[in-house]
């Protein structure tokens, strides 16, 4: 992220802080959205015979979220090994 | 907490806007998904009854799914996950 | 959208108004883009034997747009039933 | 209409920029789609003649499609849609 | 892009310049990302028997990037023929 | 070059933030892709050993792929591409 030197005009660092907070939030939202779409594809019957999730779908969803979270962790570790951390 | 009042307001506004944008995107994605899964016949301009039923079930199912994922996701974010 | 109280510094409400206008426009653009991609997938022959849309494709497109619009309305009603309106 | 001149200019600038961003995205999506539909052989670096023809027809077809959808979409936005 | 008249308040043209630079960068990033995803789909074996790219995959990737670039050029020419250039 | 110092800083900040956003998106897309390609069994909450191996190879392969594409893309941007 570089560049947080000291004698800048005051407004700049503040902009940067707001920008980073927005970037961080966007990242989490995107993670959640991809996880949601992916687990729907993997677990939910697309014939839509009813509007409830049945028991099999519900437990598939729980496990899918858990596994997605673990995969996220593994990939995160690999990426942060190669690069400077955020 | 040490933030001036003006910055707190601005941060809250930003969060509101990101959430609004996010729900609108989710809405768009549900429409696309349920259309794709339920509508395949283009011999008429209007929806057939069973297409309509399919769309409603699809959207409801997706919303329930999304809420369940949200709960599980929040648990994991708080490190409250249990083993197997 | 919460928070449009009265004794804020004047700039904030204006920022908010511009932000909401941008969000609204982005929503419409995304709706149009998804509709366009989806109806192309449903209606257009991908062998590309010619560069014109034939009559069958054209009427399929018209009906597809109409049906997508109706689906958008149904889902919108369902969502706004559960939540506070925009 | 009651907006100060400065805000009108800013709004117009914002709309210009969103439209520019949108056309560039559309351009990127046409390239990806037509590449996917037309190019499948990677024994050479250059495009074969029939791949080139396919890409041009695909892009032209997509543009015509997009214009037609735009017209229908505008009609629906104005509530001018007719029945079946 | 219209509207860069002369007697505007000074801040507006500067905002516009920053906005255009950001739009241009986002375009290049999106082009790169789509190209990367597409060529991975076309060239890389998804069974992941090893973590190296083999020789066949590598030369497929090089040719895929080259062809994607050419397709980008063709479509760009077609679009700019119909519309005012950026 | 003629830009005032303040604008240069602002431009650099903007580039930093777009790059940060872009790497996070790339990260999210690798996770989704490798999950999709490697995980298909949902009888347990934890990853099986061969799923884990698959995910790691997938991510590594994607990163190497992405770096190679980056190099070729840069060459083309500089007009340094050779024929066939």
CATH code (residue C70) = 1.10.287.810
Higher pLDDT, C9 or E26: E26
Chain F CB within 8 Å of residue E61 CB:
yes
Is the residue at E35 inside a domain?
A: yes
Average pLDDT over residues B57-84: 87
What confidence score (pLDDT) does residue D80 get? 55
Residues D24-68: tens digit of each pLDDT: 999 999 999 999 999 999 999 999 999 999 999 999 999 999 999
What confidence score (pLDDT) does residue C10 get? 58
Is the residue at A4 inside a domain?
A: no
Average pLDDT over residues E20-30: 92
Is the residue at A74 inside a domain?
A: yes
Chain E CB within 8 Å of residue F57 CB:
yes
**Are D81 and C33 a contacting pair at CB < 8 A?**
no
Lowest pLDDT segment from B41-50, D58-67, E18-27: E18-27
Helix H or strand E encompassing E8: none
Q: Could you tell me if the ipTM is greater than 0.90?
A: no
Among B13, B44, B56, the residue with its CB nearest the CB of C78 is B56
**What residues in E contact D47, CB-CB < 8 Å?**
67, 70-71
Listed as ranges, residues in chain A with pLDDT below 70 are 1-12, 82-86
Is the residue at C49 inside a domain?
A: yes
How many structural domains are present in chain E? 1
Is the residue at A5 inside a domain?
A: no
Q: By the 8 A CB rule, do E64 and E43 touch? A: yes
Q: What is the distance of C-alpha F18 from the center of its chain? A: 13
Take residue E5 and report the two structure tokens written for it.
Answer: 């008249």
Distances in Å between the Cα of A17 and the Cα atoms of A8, A20, A23, D68, D77 are 14, 5, 10, 44, 40
What confidence score (pLDDT) does residue D17 get? 87
Is the residue at E62 inside a domain?
A: yes
**Are B47 and C67 a contacting pair at CB < 8 A?**
yes
Is the residue at A86 inside a domain?
A: no
Closest C-alpha to E61, from F70, A79, C37: F70
**Are E44 and F57 a contacting pair at CB < 8 A?**
no
Q: How many CB atoms lie within 10 A of CB F69?
A: 24
Residues of chain F with pLDDT > 70: what percent? 92
Report pTM.
0.88
Query: Do chains B and A have 3 or more beta-carbon pairs under 8 angstroms?
Result: yes
Chain E CB within 8 Å of residue F8 CB:
no
Is the residue at A18 inside a domain?
A: yes
**Are B73 and A25 a contacting pair at CB < 8 A?**
no
Please say if the pLDDT value at position C11 is more than 90.
Answer: no
What's the domain range around E26?
14-81
């Amino acid at each position: 992220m570089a560049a947080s030197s000291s004698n800048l005009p005051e407004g700049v660092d503040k902009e940067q802080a707001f920008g980073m907070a927005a970037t961080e939030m966007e990242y989490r939202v995107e993670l959640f959205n991809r996880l949601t779409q992916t687990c729907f594809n993997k677990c939910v019957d697309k014939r839509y015979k009813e509007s409830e999730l049945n028991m099999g779908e519900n437990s598939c969803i729980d496990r899918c979220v858990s596994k997605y979270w673990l995969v996220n962790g593994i990939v995160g570790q690999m990426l942060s090994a190669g690069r400077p951390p955020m | 907490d040490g933030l001036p009042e003006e910055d707190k307001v601005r941060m809250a506004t930003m969060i509101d806007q990101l959430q609004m944008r996010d729900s609108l995107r989710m809405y768009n994605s549900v429409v696309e998904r349920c259309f794709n899964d339920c509508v395949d016949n283009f011999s008429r301009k209007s929806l057939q009854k069973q297409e309509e039923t399919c769309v409603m079930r699809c959207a409801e199912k997706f919303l329930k799914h999304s809420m369940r994922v949200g709960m599980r996701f929040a648990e994991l974010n708080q490190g409250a996950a249990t083993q197997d």
